[in-house]
Amino acid sequence: QKEVEQNSGPLSVPEGAIASLNCTYSDRGSQSFFWYRQYSGKSPELIMFIYSNGDKEDGRFTAQLNKASQYVSLLIRDSQPSDSATYLCAVTFGNEKLTFGTGTRLTIIP
């Protein structure tokens, strides 16, 4: 059974601080890793994807991938109240479609 695990939270972070979201996955053969943001009552929207070990930066967001340790993380710098949402980690295993974690609920405190 391919699994993607996330801490459900809630994770509370002061405005302006760095929010760190973590995700672990069970299959060493996993190839592609995605972070989605989902506001309450809305559909998931893609934030970033990462395929290679290391860091990938996009604006205030940085995805970090460590395949040896089987984890992927998302850092949000200068957190804003608008970043309050549920963050979903998703992993592709081989030719199978995305497997999602259950999400981490993030709250940015003004």
The answer to whether 65 contacts another protein (rule: CB under 8 A) is: no
In 3D, which of 83, 106, 110, 90 has the Cα closest to residue 2?
90
Residue with smaller CB distance to another protein, 62 or 92? 92
- Closest CB 97 distance from another protein, rounded Å: 5
Q: Which helix (H) or strand (E) holds 22?
A: strand 19-25
Among 31, 53, 66, 80, contact with another protein (rule: CB under 8 A): 31
- Beta strand pairing status for 71-76 and 85-93? unpaired
Say which amino acid occupies 110.
P
Binding site for another protein (CB under 8 A): 31-32, 34, 36, 42-46, 49, 51, 88, 92, 94-103
